């Protein structure tokens, strides 16, 4: 395993700490979880940058990076469901999109990188989760929920944009 792949793998270490801290969401624990989450989320950019810069892009890295991203997103979202901060059906829509794309990719011979919509989805999810983790005053409840729903919307839009061109390419190939 190369350096970018190790960085990707190391992001997994943040998941248990996030789950533990959000299980007992005191103000202190939430600040600690916010720090952990932001550090771990920032390494998502770092591993991709290093992989391209050092010419160390691998199939393992292309597979592992989105998997780790999903674990980092869904671990705190599941904790927020348990805490009653967000509705389960919103998280279900996000999970359904991720599983659909993952299932679609299984049959692909080449794994493509994220487009602008996938990047917007990721940024919106990170922002929403960061605001959900942060021990903000009650006046931030509505803006935080709006961020959550924007991330759900971008998650669904990015999935549709990914699938629609892919299915038309496959249909064109079958029709020929």
Q: What is the pLDDT of residue 81?
A: 97
* Measured torsion, CA atoms of residues 126, 129, 112, 65, in degrees rounded to the nearest 10: 90
Task: Report the Cα 103 to chain-centroid distance in Å.
Answer: 16
Q: Which helix (H) or strand (E) holds 155?
A: helix 141-175
Q: Where are the alpha helices (DSSP H) in the chain?
A: 3-10, 14-23, 27-53, 59-82, 88-106, 116-133, 141-175
User: What is the token pair recorded at 88?
Assistant: 């389960």
Q: Which residue stretches of the chain have pLDDT < 70?
A: 105, 108-114, 165-176
CA 2/CA 74 separation, integer angstroms = 26
Q: What is the pLDDT of residue 174?
A: 42
- pLDDT, one tens digit per residue, over 18-60 is 999 999 999 999 999 999 999 999 888 898 889 889 998 888 8
Angle between helices 116-133 and 141-175 (to 10 degrees): 160
- 17 Cβ contact partners less than 8 Å away, ≥ 6 residues apart: 32, 33, 36
Q: What is the pLDDT of residue 173?
A: 43
Per-residue CA distances from 154 to 41, 63, 103, 122, 160 (Å): 18, 22, 19, 9, 10
Q: What is the pLDDT of residue 77?
A: 97
């Amino acid at each position: 395993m190369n350096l970018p792949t190790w960085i990707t793998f190391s992001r997994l270490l943040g998941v248990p700490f996030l789950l533990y801290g959000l299980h007992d969401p005191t103000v202190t624990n939430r600040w600690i979880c916010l720090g952990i989450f932001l550090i771990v989320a920032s390494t998502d950019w770092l591993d991709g940058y290093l992989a391209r810069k050092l010419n160390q892009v691998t199939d393992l890295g292309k597979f592992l990076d989105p998997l780790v991203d999903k674990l980092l997103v869904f671990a705190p979202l599941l904790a927020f469901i348990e805490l009653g901060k967000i509705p389960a059906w919103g998280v279900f829509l996000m999970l359904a999109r991720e599983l659909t794309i993952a299932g679609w990719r299984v049959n692909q011979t080449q794994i493509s990188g994220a487009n602008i919509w996938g990047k917007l989805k990721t940024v919106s999810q990170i922002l929403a989760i960061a605001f959900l983790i942060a021990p903000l005053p009650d006046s931030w409840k509505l803006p935080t929920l709006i961020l959550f729903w924007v991330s759900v919307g971008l998650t669904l839009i990015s999935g549709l944009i990914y699938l629609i061109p892919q299915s038309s390419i496959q249909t064109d190939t079958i029709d020929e």
